[in-house]
Amino acid sequence: MTILGDPHNFGRCVELCQDGRIFKPRNLVWENELLCATSRLRTLFVHLAEKNSNPYNPFRLFPDLKFWFEPDSLGMKEGFVECIQWRTPDYSFSPIIFESIGEAIAFLCWMGVGDLHRDNMAFGRTQDDKVIFSPLDVETIFNNFTLPSQTLLISSQKVPPDKCGLYEIFKIINYADRLDLIGALCRGYLVGLSFFEKYGVEIERNILSWEDILETPVRVFPRSTAEYRRLQSSVSDISVADSEAIQIQRGDIPFFFRKISNSDIHFYDCKEISKKADLLPSLENCANAHVRLLEGDRFASRNLEILKKAGVLQLARFFLGSWVGNVTYKDLTLCRKERLIIVWRDFLRLQCAA
């Protein structure tokens, strides 16, 4: 076996097995829902499309992976997953592909999938020449994001451009000077968020009706993995909570999680017993900053207008760089001069500082 990741929960690591599968000693439920074609979530979207004659499919570029679940004393539903293999992306992508990428970005933002940095995203072509754009690890989900940058897909003050999840796409657009690809991606994003404005509540109620979903762990990140590595490797005057110190002292990168049913944060103090974490207030607030809480049989309501409108402007600014001019793709127009303006279908007009 080849170790691929950091140690968590008593030295357990992600490993590449001799048979080509990847062993992940943590919860695989969310990955299975997104990356397996026969999962409950992907089946739900198929039924929605058939019932409403809506062609939106956020999984068009996701792989169809096989999963093998194993009994786990930590209750994490761990197991094995088929390995994704892809080659470095070329520069021959069509606008249709980038429209599908935009639709997938909208889905990941709406689902609140986090930690989507460069090392956690696959983008390229598989051995059978299928284009793939997909997360590799899905551990934190159902966050109430209002901007794509909160997923780590695009750069921010916390994540430099060469570390964000869309960096490979950024390079292609800039190298090939294909501004139509930006228009296609932005249009796909708007199509996706418009779909969730219409069907989001129905989707959430279906998800919350699944018997196991409320007790399935969702990982939270009080600090970044890089910060925990620094705390492991050197003496530091940074204050840490007992729940962090216990894990660091046993050689682990601290691992914290919660359940969808509440915002309490837990960690494993013993190999079979989870314990409520005693995080510092500032770290607990950071970990729970985007948690979506329940109201009865559904998530607390939210306004998708910000994610839709501010989100597409943020994506456009990220990819456009210093470019000035006009670009049109289908029914969407981008104009950047003194200000950045996006017009879609003649009824949506957005603008912000260039």
The structure tokens 């729940």 sit at 243
Q: How many CB atoms lie within 10 A of CB 308?
A: 23
SS3 86: coil
Burial class (CB in 10 A: 0-12, 13-18, 19+), 197: middle
Amino acid identity for residue 154 in this structure: I
Per-residue pLDDT band at 289 (split at 50, 70, 90): low
Mean pLDDT of 202-222: 88
Q: Reply yes or no on whether the pLDDT at 71 is more than 80.
A: no
Cα separation of 193 and 308, whole Å? 6
The answer, yes or no, to whether residue 150 has pLDDT greater than 90, is: yes
Task: Using pLDDT thresholds of 50, 70 and 90, give the confidence band for residue 33.
Answer: very high
Picking from 117-131, 178-192, 255-269, which range would have the lowest pLDDT averaged per residue?
A: 255-269
* Predicted TM-score (pTM) above 0.75: yes
Q: How far apart, in whole angstroms, are the C-alpha atoms of residue 337 and residue 354?
A: 7
Write the pLDDT tens digit of every residue in 170-195. Answer: 998 888 778 899 999 999 999 999 99
State the sign of the Cα–Cα–Cα–Cα dihedral 45, 310, 330, 322: negative
Contact (CB, 8 A) for 181 and 95:
yes
Mean pLDDT across the stretch 283-308?
Answer: 78
Residue 237 has pLDDT above 90, yes or no: no
Residue 5 is predicted with a pLDDT of 84
pLDDT at 77 over 90: no
- pLDDT of 215 reads 84
Q: In which residue are the tokens 């994540």 written?
A: 159
Structure confidence by residue, pLDDT tens digits, 1-22: 788 888 888 888 999 999 989 9
What average pLDDT does range 117-144 have in this prediction?
93
Q: Which residue has the tokens 């970990």?
A: 287
Average pLDDT of 221-240? Answer: 79
Nearest C-alpha neighbor of 72 from the set 216, 223, 244: 216
Among 4-13, 153-162, 233-242, 333-342, the minimum mean pLDDT is found in 233-242
Contact 200, 207 (CB under 8 A): no
Q: Does pLDDT of 212 surpass 70?
A: yes
